Amino acid sequence: MQRQWRLCLLLLGAAALAWPAHAQQQPPTTAPAKPAPKPVPKPPAAKPPAPAAVVAGGAQPKLLGQYGTWGAYTASQGGKKVCFAIAKPTSSETNPPNRPRNPAYMFISTRPTDKVTNEVSIVVGYPFKPGSDAGAQIGKTTFALYTQQDGAWIKNSAEEAHMVDLMRTADTAVVRGVSVKGTESTDTYSLKGIAQALERTAQECK
């Protein structure tokens, strides 16, 4: 059950990052020099649902607010309310350099029904090397992460609250890992706005 929840959350995070970008793609406001002929009307095509929408029973993530680099969202999965703060890395490096990857992101979720508060999840955009650990450095403190496929979670759950507290006041979080092909990655996240985003999700998911 926990594994299924984590898969749902990973997909939900991906949908939260994808849909705002889609919504921001507006047509140019400048008028053309000559009026273009009107195209023949076509029936509107149905918008394909995001992967997370299917997992979450058709509910799209709702943006509660954007705070610096962090967005605060809410959604419903199987009738259970979920709130989360999410951000993409501000910089990413690989060794060897320029290795292709899917989008990476970090999100912190709260699920009142399951009595889960501020669970940290990280997606790196590639399958981790099986059995390998990753690390997240917040300020001068490094937290060990266990990995599964392309996701990572804190290894010692007793340290999770401390990790989130440090993130509220630190400037950056640096996540390091190794892919199944041996590529080393370093993703740096700005923590600007995370405290406000977490306050907003806490208000929504009391």
Provide the domain limits for residue 75. Answer: 2-19+50-204
Looking at residue 35, its amino acid is P
The CATH number for 119's domain is 2.60.40.1880
Q: Which of 45-49, 59-63, 118-122, 180-184 has the lowest mean pLDDT?
A: 45-49
Q: What is the pLDDT of residues 154-174, one digit of tens each?
A: 999 999 999 999 999 999 999
Looking at the structure of the chain, the number of domains it has is 1
Q: What is the pLDDT of residues 79-135, one digit of tens each?
A: 889 999 999 999 999 999 989 999 999 999 999 998 999 999 999 999 999 989 999
36 band by pLDDT with thresholds 50, 70 and 90 = very low
Question: Which residues have a Cβ under 8 Å from the Cβ of 10 and sit 6 or more positions away?
Answer: 121, 123, 150, 151
Report how far residue 83's alpha carbon sits from residue 96's, in angstroms, rounded to the nearest whole number: 36
Report how far residue 205's alpha carbon sits from residue 82's, in angstroms, rounded to the nearest whole number: 7
Average pLDDT over residues 55-71: 80
Q: Which of 7-16, 44-53, 100-109, 193-202 has the lowest mean pLDDT?
A: 44-53
- Look at residue 34 and tell me if it is in a domain: no
For residue 138, which of 110, 168, 166 has the smallest C-alpha distance?
A: 166
- Look at residue 181 and tell me if it is in a domain: yes
For residue 138, which of 111, 109, 161 has the smallest C-alpha distance?
A: 161
The pLDDT, as a whole number, for residue 85 is: 96
148 pairs with which residues across the strands? 151
